[in-house]
Structure 1
Amino acid sequence: MKVSPSIFRLYDIRGIAGEKFEKKAIEEYEKWYGKFTGINITPEVAVAIGKAYGTVIKDRGGKKVIVGHEIRPYGEELKMQFIKGVRSTGIDVIDAGVSLTPIIYFSTAFYKLDGGVNVTGSHNVYFFNGFKTMAKDVYPIFAEELQKMRKIIEDESYAFGEEGSYEEKSVIDDYSKYLLEHNKLAKKLKVVVDSGNGSAGMFAPKILRDLGCEVIDLYSEPDSSFPNHVPDPEDVFQMEDLMKKVKEEKADLGIGIDADGDRCGIVDENGEFVYADRTLLLFSKDILSRNKGKKILYDVKCTRLVEDLVPEFGGVPLMHITGHAPIKETMRKDKDIIFGGEVSGHFYHAEDYFRIDDGVYSAAKILSLLSQTDKTFSQLIDQFPKTVMTPEIKLPCKDEVKFKVVKDLTEYFSKNYETITIDGSRIKFSATSWGLVRASNTSPYLTIRVEADTEEEVIKIKNILADQLEKYPEIADKLDRRKVTSHTGRLGFV
């Protein structure tokens, strides 16, 4: 069967889903992604992906998996077609219904299943959908394994067997019970929860109420058109309503959850956005107080303070490439990693959880930590040194161009500067300043981030990077040299 190679991305399967595409949607797609190339995840493709996934699980000796779906157009239909394909290979399937990605992660580990899949488009706009796939122990199926699935589909070399069984099962009670048993509040807290009209709104507010919080709902009603903002909790521009609401309600904290629930973002009691790598420092200090000598994993986009402070906390810092799949893989191979975090808001808990990224679990953990002190969240964060840092600047760049840009910049800057190349090019301009250019592995853009001691230094480094980036016509007109925060857009290109 012929299938679009483009849907098999590095960390998951993702594409344009459905049976028809309206003119308005095509116009919106082309505004950001270039010429519309057509729907590439149809119900027929979903069946084929299910067959390929079932084949991979069967080859690993697996027998039973769990599958859920996020609320968005065609989500349930794609799930049912996918399940049809999986069952045709002889694999038994539990249908979790509407779910969150971390609930599927949890279920795979908690019930000791042989795999799990969530049908999700994550925080992407409504016409995207796809499949996050994992094997036993929530071991990610990604990269070469996804290409293996593609080859199985193209060759139609599926496993066959007696049709696998099918059962519907709600797992939310077990998930909630586990979360509440492992997180306790020492005092009641008032929190605003912004679910961004994603599926997280069906679960996160109730769980945090059961934890003992007074919860103010913001955009909890699922609506996959995302009418208020894109549910990306690490894009400060998508968090503006949450920032205002926290101040209005005089809340202790604001928490944003992305559409499929595996990431969270934090707003302090003053309505100020808190970067995820600063929250990572707070988590690290707390966790290492009980786990001396363990490793803290952090992605290449994080502040230099992680490398500086984690040893002071009693741990070992480990810089890593960005991405939930390779991070989960590394944390399964290296049991000394007690915690991990990314600038994107993925936090991976190993102390009392399954080494998975879970936005709701992370929110509960943060609230538990905050409740045990008389300090405000801003005071907890302000214990760490301050630097000047840009947000994660997302610069639109076509897939066929972005990797060449990074390669060229690496060659140029490595001649005169110390350059870390584990994921893109992180250029060390001084002992306290650096700039990063990397190609996103999931979307058509470059990621830029800069850190220094002063805003003047940050702007200087941005301009040094811009001098090289403007050589490429595809991105030259999108550069803004003047501001630390620049280039905003509906899809969170900042």
Structure 2
Amino acid sequence: MDKNSFLSLQNGSDIRGVAEGDNPLLSAAISGRLGRAFARLILSRTGKRPFCEYDPARVAVGFDPRPSGRPLARAFCDGLAAEGVTPYATGISTTPAMFMGCMDARLAADGGVMVTASHLPADRNGFKFFTPSGGLGKKDITALLEDALELDPPAPGELPLYFDLMASYTTYLVERVEEWTGKERPLSGRKILVDAGGGSGGFYVGVLERLGADTAGSLYIEPDPAFSGHIPNPEEDSAMEALRTAVVHARADFGIACDTDADRVGLVGPDGRLINHNRMIALAAAVIAPQNKGGVIVTDSVTSTGLGEFIASLGLVHRRFKRGYKNVIDEALRLCESGVHAPLAIETSGHAAMRENFFLDDGAYLVTRMLPMLAEKGPCGLISALREPAESVSLRIPAEKLPADALERLADFAKKMPGLSLTPDNYEGVRVDCDKTRGNGWLLLRRSLHDPLFVLDMESDSPGGIAVMKEVLSPILCPLSQSTT
């Protein structure tokens, strides 16, 4: 593989690529080279000696159920061992658990690696990397790939040691709820369903059952390499339909949907109402508000006007920042370091990180944090005051369909057109407020983080408002009629 193809495996702060087929981008050989590079990074950061018997550097390696997960993880372990770092295999795991392996006193790993491609199709795979300081950033991933490019694949080694990290992580979550409630089985009498989508999130049934909940009727709990039920992605309403039906049929108190590696979740209320996107952020804010008055909730850029109002009504401050879960987490960290309390960083995609949990991107912890209040009041009751838009849409426009200076043109247009105004305190793309004559809502034009696209998000408080916005924008955004949601 040439250098450009190798470096193209980077996807922000992750590594991703096709791992199945005749000529996969992510092969066992490449995984082994990445293992060697990560081992060198760990040895450099810890100052530990390679092949040290009395205090070896340790790295936990887990994977989701994809067919390529186990061989990629094994090759990565070979790479670690070749550089003198002790690998610990954790089997099918969740991404947040890999970081918690660094916090677990029994393992005290110097690093953690999750082999996953999140919600992408089963033929894809990738890597997420952790140290006790948190997840690696974009610059770290670039350096890691550049280092791996210069290394040879390792020879196959011995089977790595096994550590049951998911059992430890399950106990960690159970003990948190028992601590918060002062009870051993606080969910007794509650019926809560889980839809793991055949991914790694099936373990959460065990969390709920240890807390006393009835989980009979849960869906796709067993690992399924083909994700034959549906792609595990709580951001997509279509992927939530099976859980919606099951919750209503079973008369459950609520349902929990996990993505493939269980770092994102969505909920379903007892009436089948989906609780994701803005609703999920509102619910999280409502749960933490009593202990965090005046705290800043950092979100991505596409949140609704009504959400901002709801957060303010709770005595919290909404900071609408940028897309990308690392962006919102890093902004929350920056605020905390400057003396501003930011208890929660959360995206409409379901990525969420809490200050009290090391700012780890951990959907399972988020829903665990909600459990006591959800059991008492139910998810829908907690967000009944959330004002929601009459219409919303997200349009993806190929970059070649718009001029390179489309953002600047939109900003100039909004300044000159009556009824339009630039939204203050905007940190991504161009966000425009539209009065009642121009659609009664807002729109945001931004460049996609990963694809050669512009994304246009629109929201209106009036039926038919989005059509009005499109008409207003047509002089400068002609391809609207050709774009796709």
Structures share fold, TM-score greater than 0.5: yes
Match of 2:358 among 354, 358, 363: 354
1:79-131 CA distance string (max 9 Å, x none): 11112112323323222111011111222233453321100011110111000
Match of 1:411 among 388, 408, 411: 408
1:258-279 CA distance string (max 9 Å, x none): 1110101111111121233222
2:209 alignment partner in structure 1: 209
**C-alpha contact 1:108 1:115 (8 A) present in aligned 2:** yes
Q: CA deviation at 1:338?
A: 0.7
* Displacement over 6 Å in runs of 4+: none
Q: TM-score, normalised by structure 2?
A: 0.83
Alpha-carbon distance between aligned partners in 2 of 1:298 and 1:187, rounded to the nearest angstrom? 34
Q: Does 1:245 align with 2:246?
A: yes
**C-alpha contact 2:298 2:318 (8 A) present in aligned 1:** yes
Match of 2:126 among 109, 125, 130: 130
**C-alpha contact 2:99 2:132 (8 A) present in aligned 1:** no
1:294-325 CA distance string (max 9 Å, x none): 22111112122343343432333222222233
Aligned residue pairs, count:
447
After superposition, the Cα gap between the structure-2 partners of 1:389 and 1:261, relative to the gap in structure 1 and judged at 3 Å, is: farther
1:278-301 CA distance string (max 9 Å, x none): 222232133121122322111112
The one-letter code sitting in structure 1 at the alignment partner of 2:206 is: K
After superposition, the Cα gap between the structure-2 partners of 1:206 and 1:463, relative to the gap in structure 1 and judged at 3 Å, is: farther
RMSD: 3.0
Task: Trace 1:397-436 onto structure 2 (pairs within 5 A).
Answer: 397=398, 401=399, 405=402, 408-415=405-412, 416=414, 417-418=421-422, 422-430=427-435, 433-436=441-444
Q: Does 1:386 align with 2:388?
A: yes
1:285 alignment partner in structure 2: 286
Q: CA deviation at 1:422?
A: 2.8
* Partner SS, residue 8 of structure 2: helix
Q: CA deviation at 1:232?
A: 0.9
Match of 2:26 among 41, 51, 72: 41
Alpha-carbon distance between aligned partners in 1 of 2:130 and 2:435, rounded to the nearest angstrom? 41
Task: Trace 1:225-236 onto structure 2 (pairs within 5 A).
Answer: 225-236=226-237
The one-letter code sitting in structure 1 at the alignment partner of 2:210 is: D
The one-letter code sitting in structure 1 at the alignment partner of 2:411 is: S
Match of 2:69 among 59, 67, 75: 75
Q: CA deviation at 1:440?
A: 3.7
Q: CA deviation at 1:250?
A: 1.6
After superposition, the Cα gap between the structure-2 partners of 1:390 and 1:274, relative to the gap in structure 1 and judged at 3 Å, is: farther
**C-alpha contact 1:300 1:423 (8 A) present in aligned 2:** yes
Task: Trace 1:157-236 onto structure 2 (pairs within 5 A).
Answer: 166-183=160-177, 184=181, 185=186, 188-201=189-202, 203-215=203-215, 216-236=217-237
Q: CA deviation at 1:407?
A: 5.3
After superposition, the Cα gap between the structure-2 partners of 1:50 and 1:462, relative to the gap in structure 1 and judged at 3 Å, is: farther
More deviation in 223-232 or 453-462?
Answer: 453-462
Give the gaps of 5 or more residues in structure 2: 48-56, 415-420
* Partner SS, residue 164 of structure 2: coil
Match of 1:457 among 465, 478, 485: 465
After superposition, the Cα gap between the structure-2 partners of 1:314 and 1:418, relative to the gap in structure 1 and judged at 3 Å, is: same
Please tell me whether Structure 1 or Structure 2 has the larger radius of gyration of its CA atoms.
Answer: 2
Q: Does 1:103 align with 2:107?
A: no
Q: TM-score, normalised by structure 1?
A: 0.82
* Partner SS, residue 379 of structure 1: helix
Alpha-carbon distance between aligned partners in 2 of 1:421 and 1:221, rounded to the nearest angstrom? 43
Alpha-carbon distance between aligned partners in 2 of 1:102 and 1:267, rounded to the nearest angstrom? 22
Alpha-carbon distance between aligned partners in 1 of 2:158 and 2:478, rounded to the nearest angstrom? 55
**C-alpha contact 2:287 2:370 (8 A) present in aligned 1:** no
1 or 2 for the larger relative contact order (CA 8 Å, sep ≥6)?
1
The one-letter code sitting in structure 1 at the alignment partner of 2:141 is: L
The one-letter code sitting in structure 1 at the alignment partner of 2:46 is: G
After superposition, the Cα gap between the structure-2 partners of 1:90 and 1:190, relative to the gap in structure 1 and judged at 3 Å, is: same
Alpha-carbon distance between aligned partners in 2 of 1:467 and 1:225, rounded to the nearest angstrom? 45
The one-letter code sitting in structure 2 at the alignment partner of 1:208 is: L
Task: Trace 1:294-333 onto structure 2 (pairs within 5 A).
Answer: 294-333=295-334
* Partner SS, residue 262 of structure 2: coil
* Partner SS, residue 76 of structure 1: helix
More deviation in 442-451 or 380-389?
Answer: 442-451
1:344 alignment partner in structure 2: 349
1:31 alignment partner in structure 2: none
1:484 alignment partner in structure 2: none
After superposition, the Cα gap between the structure-2 partners of 1:269 and 1:408, relative to the gap in structure 1 and judged at 3 Å, is: farther
* Partner SS, residue 405 of structure 2: helix
More deviation in 416-425 or 84-93?
Answer: 416-425
After superposition, the Cα gap between the structure-2 partners of 1:143 and 1:372, relative to the gap in structure 1 and judged at 3 Å, is: same
1:354-391 CA distance string (max 9 Å, x none): 22122222233333212223xx4323221222333526
1:416-454 CA distance string (max 9 Å, x none): 241566333333334972122334434666544322212
* Partner SS, residue 262 of structure 1: coil
Q: CA deviation at 1:2?
A: 3.5
**C-alpha contact 1:267 1:274 (8 A) present in aligned 2:** yes
2:81 alignment partner in structure 1: 87
**C-alpha contact 2:65 2:198 (8 A) present in aligned 1:** no
**C-alpha contact 2:17 2:25 (8 A) present in aligned 1:** yes
Instruction: Work out the percentage of aligned pairs sharing the same amino acid.
Output: 27
Match of 1:365 among 363, 369, 374: 369
1:52 alignment partner in structure 2: 37
Alpha-carbon distance between aligned partners in 2 of 1:195 and 1:405, rounded to the nearest angstrom? 39
